[in-house]
Copies of this chain bind each other. A is one copy, B any other.
Amino acid sequence: MLGDTKINELAKMSLREPILVQGLPGLGYVGKASVDYFVEKLKPTKIAELYSSYLLFPDGNLGINISEDGTYSLPKYEFYAYNEKEPNAIFLTGDAQPSVTGQYEVASMVLDYAQQFGSKMVFTMGGYGIRGGNETGAVYAVVGDSMLGDRLKKMGAKLAKGGAVTGAAGVILGIGRQRGLQCAGLLGATGGVYPDLEAARAVIQMLTGLVSIPVELKDLDSEIEDMRKKMERFRRTELEESKEGEEKQGEEGKDRYIT
């Protein structure tokens, strides 16, 4: 299937050794939520999209996502470039993870693309699963070299001491390190709530502390507040609906899988 992954460049931009910041769907949606926040606040330029036959839906099928206006698109990665301040950055977000078979191919193409711009640092944002306890705001780090680990520890991160990072976040760190890039994974402690904006806040703060990216957390704080209220409301609605039995079945034309 070689050749079924491709990057469509949408705009040419001049970047100086941009850091690559990847956040894809995963545990607690921490990674995607944090990169999406950078995109929302910094309004970087969308420079490319990656399409691949390996970007599957969570149920293991291929297909298209339908938008609210009835239009659709294949699952994709999106690359956004920011060059207003130092360091420059490429933010990578997406709506799917590659299948196991495609992880190497996709991660390699992402790194090839970023390295064209001279990227030397790779950060992946993600969630770190915890059960119980209170670690809200804690960030666990995995690092390509221990010097970076020391810097992150001074900033309050805990170093993960074992286990594994699986999926796209792990694979790009693994291949990145093999290519001699500086790499770190910033993993926000999460109980798995979806999306865990508090965990996202923690990893955003960690990254902006490490490399100066001019992003204010104020808006995120109010989003977290909003989210809390929404969750509250959602839980109440759910409770009421479960009382009403199974009569109501969601808004017409929405959120169904069609095969």
| Residues of A in contact with B (beta carbons under 8 Å apart) | 1-2, 4, 26-27, 51, 53, 56-57, 59-74, 100-101, 103-105, 126-129, 131-133, 140-146, 149, 158-167, 169-171, 173-175, 177-178, 185, 187, 249, 251-259
A-B CB contact pairs (8 Å), 28 listed: A1-B2, A1-B105, A4-B105, A53-B104, A59-B166, A61-B100, A63-B164, A63-B171, A63-B174, A64-B142, A64-B173, A66-B164, A68-B161, A70-B146, A71-B143, A71-B144, A71-B146, A72-B177, A73-B177, A127-B258, A140-B258, A158-B252, A162-B254, A163-B258, A164-B258, A167-B259, A169-B258, A170-B258
Q: Which residues in B have their C-beta under 8 angstroms from that of A67?
A: 162
Closest 4 CB pairs of A and B: A70-B159, A63-B170, A63-B166, A53-B104
Interface centre among A73, A74, A146, A185 (most CB of B within 10 A): A74
B62→A103 contact, CB < 8 A: yes
The answer to whether A162 and B255 touch (CB under 8 A), given A63-B171, A104-B4, is yes
Residue of B70, B144, B166 near A259 (CB, 8 A) is B166
Q: Please give the count of copies of this chain that the complex contains.
A: 4
Cross-chain contact B74 with A164 (CB below 8 angstroms): no
* Closest CB in chain B relative to A49 CB, distance in Å: 10
Contact A258 B165 (CB under 8 A): yes
Q: Specify which chain B residues have a CB less than 8 angstroms from the CB of A185 in the assembled complex.
A: 72
